[in-house]
Structure 1
Amino acid sequence: MNPILIEKIITVCNDKITKKGENVGLSFYAFFENKNENPELLMEVAEWWIKTNKLDHFEKAVKIKELVLELK
């Protein structure tokens, strides 16, 4: 996965965890703006989320952060 995207996912997860606690859930849309400015990047994350990791629509931010840190 794109290193810039990995850092963004970690940042978003940290922010959500700080604001809402360890049990906060999120979907892969949380890493993008409301408008789809980069469909290739969105599809990269969707494939990683759905095909590679077989995650549910909403997952705990802590779990996503751990999975992404393994990619570094």
Structure 2
Amino acid sequence: MRAALRAKIIDVCDRKIVQKGENVGLSFYAFFANRNDDPPLLMEAATWWIETHRLDHFEKAVKIRDMVQRGV
């Protein structure tokens, strides 16, 4: 996963956790605008989320942030 996507995921997770608490869940769509303005980046996130890690549609932001920080 490219560094820019990692940084974006960590930033979004941090903001969601601050706004809604440690139990907030999100999907990989949370990292993108409603408009699909960067399809390759969206596919990179989807591949990491769905194919590589077989995550559920919604996961805890804390879990995702920790995985990305560890480089999993």
* CA deviation vs aligned residue, 1:25-51 (integer Å, no higher than 9, x gap): 000000001100111110000000001
CA-atom RMSD in angstroms? 1.1
Deviation beyond 6 Å, 4+ runs, structure 1: none
Identify unmatched segments of 5+ residues in structure 2.
none
What is the alpha-carbon distance in structure 1 between the residues aligned to residue 64 and residue 10 of structure 2? 8
User: CA–CA distance in 2 between the matches of 1:70 and 1:2?
Assistant: 14
Name the CA distance, whole Å, in 2 between partners of 1:30 and 1:55. 14
Sequence identity percentage: 62
TM-score under structure 2 length normalisation: 0.96
User: Normalised by the size of structure 1, how large is the TM-score?
Assistant: 0.96
Cα distance in 1 for partners of 2:71, 2:58 equals: 20
**Count of residue pairs the alignment pairs up:** 72
Structure 1: 5+ residue runs without aligned partners? none
Q: Which residue identity is paired with 1:54?
A: R
